[in-house]
Every structure is written in C-alpha cells, then in structure tokens.
Amino acid sequence: MGSTSLPTTMKALVTPSQGAPAEVRDNVSLPEPSPTQVLVRTLYAAINPVDVFTTQMGLLVESWPFVPGCEASGIVVKAGNEARNALGGYFKKGDIVAGCARLGVEGHGTFAEYFLLDAEVALPKPDSLTAAQASTVAVGALTAFLGVFGELGISIEGLEEGKGEGEGKWVIVFGGAGAVGRYAVQTLKLAGYKVVASCSAGSVELLKSLGADATIDYKKSADDIVEEVKRITEEKVDLAFDAVSVNNDLVTKIFTAIPSSSGRRLYTTTNDWDPAPDASLGFTTKPIELGPLGRPSAAELNSKLTSWIPVVYRLLESGKLKVGGYSVEGEGIDGIPKAWEAQKSGRLGSKKVIAKLADE
C-alpha cells in the first residue's frame, strides 16, 4: 500500500554507540516495511528493563547508531501486501496495533515517530482497550504465555473457558505484580492452577484481585519463604515461574527442601543469561527467550506467538485477562528520557511507564 503523505525522515531517540547517552535526532530515515510488515505511527511507547540491556550491553543490537524501544502501540500508515495478522485478516492503513518490535534491528525501535512491526506477531488492538493500555500488554502477556505454555509445557486447551488442566495443583510465581508476573498469575489461574505469588506488601490486594490464592512478601528471608511455601502448598509444588530474573538460588532452596510430588519438576525464568541451576538437584530450568521475536531465524518462536495471539486478544476483549496500571511520564520524543528515568527509578512500583508520542 503506497502513500504520498509520509515524510522521508523522522524524529527519534538515538543511542550513538554502546553505553553512550541517548540523544534526540530529527533526521532519522523513515523505515520501509517488507511485504510481511507494517509501518506504524507511534502513539504510545512503553519503557522496559530490556531497553537498558540493549543500549548499555548491546544485547541483540545489529548496528550502531541504534534506536531503542521494543513495545508500543500506534496506527498503521503503510502495510505490506502480505501483512497478515494472527487473527487471519490483513492489516490496512488506519488499523490500531500494538506489539513487540524486533530487538536491535534498524527501523524497529519504538522510541521513534514511526517503527516497523512484523505482522504475524503484532496484536490488533482489542476494542476494550485504549491505545495507551494496548501499549503495555505485549511484552508481559507474550512472555507469560511463552513461559507457561512454552517452557512449563502446560496445555492451552480450555484456557478461555477457565477449564485448563491444572486441577488445583500449585505453581509459584516470583514477582507476581510486575509486567510479566501479573499475566503469568492470571494465565495460570485460567489454566486451572493454584498460584502462590511473591510480591511487596503493597501489592497483596492487587494480586488477590488477579486471582492469586496466596502471597508471600518477597522481602522475607529465603528460609522464611521456604517455610511459607511449604505451609501454603502443603509441600506439593512442582512448577515455578520467575518473572523478575533473580530467583535461581531461591528456587533451588525451595525445590531442595520440598520433595517432588509428581516426579516432573520444571522451573522457567526470564533470566536467560546466568548459568541455570544444577539439573542434578531434581528440576529442569527452562529460560524464556522472547528476544529473537520477529526475526526470520526465530521461525519456531514466531509460529508459537502467532498461534497464541488470538487467545490473548480474546481474553483481553472479554476482560478475562486484565491489563495493568500505567503512568504517562513523558510526551513526545523529547519526553522519552524523562519516562525512561522514571522507569529506572522504580518509584512507580508495578505501574508500566509509557510515553505519549502522538494523538490518535
């Protein structure tokens, strides 16, 4: 689909080289979508911890200068002629979409006025969500689905009816109130499991509203947390999901203290960089790797996400999957650094930090 009204350059936040301070530039070339991609005018860009990993550590960055940002919502301004979405239709100019963009690839950074999305892993905006809400969903929901259905091997059958395979078995979710954890808790509940989630004292009511059966204060000592898990689960827990990447040692301590009740013990974590716990301790660690999303080399990952996105869409549309709170902390490209600092400060707790880049 062609267009005569699009500019040839755009404004974006650019990191010149690894570790260098980001700077606003107004002469970045407008990217061109491939036949299976859409070009999106950014409405809201979300800030994520991975943005630090890309800019400071060069994670998955193909070349510099680099436009960071990997999650946003916006309006399709140009669609490739093969840009078929996960719901089975084709994207067209004017559609509002959200999603995760390719990490580290030129033209895909969302801290810009325009960015590219791969159609098969993009999320058409449900009518029940605002564009601002939609900008906060993709990283959390897709990471949760990848952990629950991909790495823990739980069946997605019956999920939408709330009649999954869980049969009341316990699962531990670490960081239940965060962007990933909140979706993990809700998804596991829909799948029929009981969930005990770690969180701060201030997030207990939130976790209860999302369906958590029990909570544990993450600030307690490891020994106290082990005892709490024992008491709550009656020493019957074989699945764990670490949504905050820092609990390898704690999971090892818990699973060492509690004998397996099924003989099949799995642990999934968003930490895909540290060495996994020793498998001889009686459990298998399966890191969640969403980073390659969208790349042609990640065909298997993309295929899984494409099959799950319609489920995410319907659960969001029906209200069975609740989006989290958010805070707009900056406006325009010039406001992104302010939003980024707000996210890094942690002062907004479990709220997702976003920047508003344009009006609908």
CATH number of 73's domain: 3.90.180.10
Domain count, the chain: 2
- Structure confidence by residue, pLDDT tens digits, 311-340: 999 999 999 999 999 999 999 999 999 999
User: In this structure, is residue 3 part of a structural domain?
Assistant: no
Residues 100, 162 share a domain: no
CA-angle at 171, arms to 353 and 205, nearest 5°: 50
pLDDT of residue 343: 94
pLDDT of residue 162: 83
Task: Please answer whether residues 14 and 67 qualify as being in contact, where contact means their C-beta atoms are separated by less than 8 angstroms.
Answer: yes
Residues 185, 283 share a domain: yes
Q: Which contiguous run of DSSP H or E holds residue 77?
A: strand 71-79
Average pLDDT over the chain, rounded to an integer: 96
Residues 121, 197 share a domain: no
- Structure confidence by residue, pLDDT tens digits, 159-175: 999 888 999 999 999 99
Owning domain of residue 67? 9-137+292-297+306-356
User: In this structure, is residue 338 part of a structural domain?
Assistant: yes
Q: How far apart are CA 52 and CA 43, in angstroms?
A: 22
pLDDT (average), residues 74-79: 98
User: In this structure, is residue 198 part of a structural domain?
Assistant: yes
User: In this structure, is residue 114 part of a structural domain?
Assistant: yes
- Structure confidence by residue, pLDDT tens digits, 250-304: 999 999 999 998 989 999 999 999 999 999 999 999 999 999 999 999 999 999 9
User: In this structure, is residue 342 part of a structural domain?
Assistant: yes
User: What interhelical angle do 248-257 and 222-233 show, nearest 10?
Assistant: 50
Residues 187, 93 share a domain: no
Residues 147, 282 share a domain: yes
The number of beta carbons lying within 10 Å of the beta carbon of residue 42 is: 25
Q: How confident is the model at residue 91 (pLDDT cuts 50, 70, 90)?
A: very high
- In CATH, what number is assigned to the domain containing residue 235? 3.40.50.720
- Structure confidence by residue, pLDDT tens digits, 187-211: 999 999 999 999 999 999 999 999 9
Say which residue, 76 or 5, is predicted with more confidence.
Answer: 76
Residues 152, 71 share a domain: no
Residues 103, 53 share a domain: yes
Q: How far apart are CA 309 and CA 91, in angstroms?
A: 15
Domain end (from 254, 287, 320): 287
Report the relative pairing of strands 37-46 and 122-124 from DSSP bridges: unpaired
User: In this structure, is residue 111 part of a structural domain?
Assistant: yes
Residues 275, 189 share a domain: yes
Residues 210, 121 share a domain: no
User: What interhelical angle do 181-190 and 138-145 show, nearest 10?
Assistant: 50
User: In this structure, is residue 2 part of a structural domain?
Assistant: no
- Structure confidence by residue, pLDDT tens digits, 235-254: 999 999 999 999 999 999 99
Q: How far apart are CA 148 and CA 152, in angstroms?
A: 5
Residues 149, 94 share a domain: no
Residues 21, 126 share a domain: yes
Instruction: Tell me how far the alpha carbon of residue 25 is from its chain's centroid.
Output: 28
Instruction: Give the CA distances from residue 331 to residues 95, 323, 345, in Å, rounded to whole numbers and listed in that order.
Output: 22, 22, 18
**The model's pTM:** 0.96
- The single-letter DSSP state of residue 346 is T
- Structure confidence by residue, pLDDT tens digits, 47-70: 999 999 999 999 999 999 999 999
Q: How far apart are the first and last CA of the chain?
A: 20
pLDDT of residue 50: 94
Residues 163, 124 share a domain: no
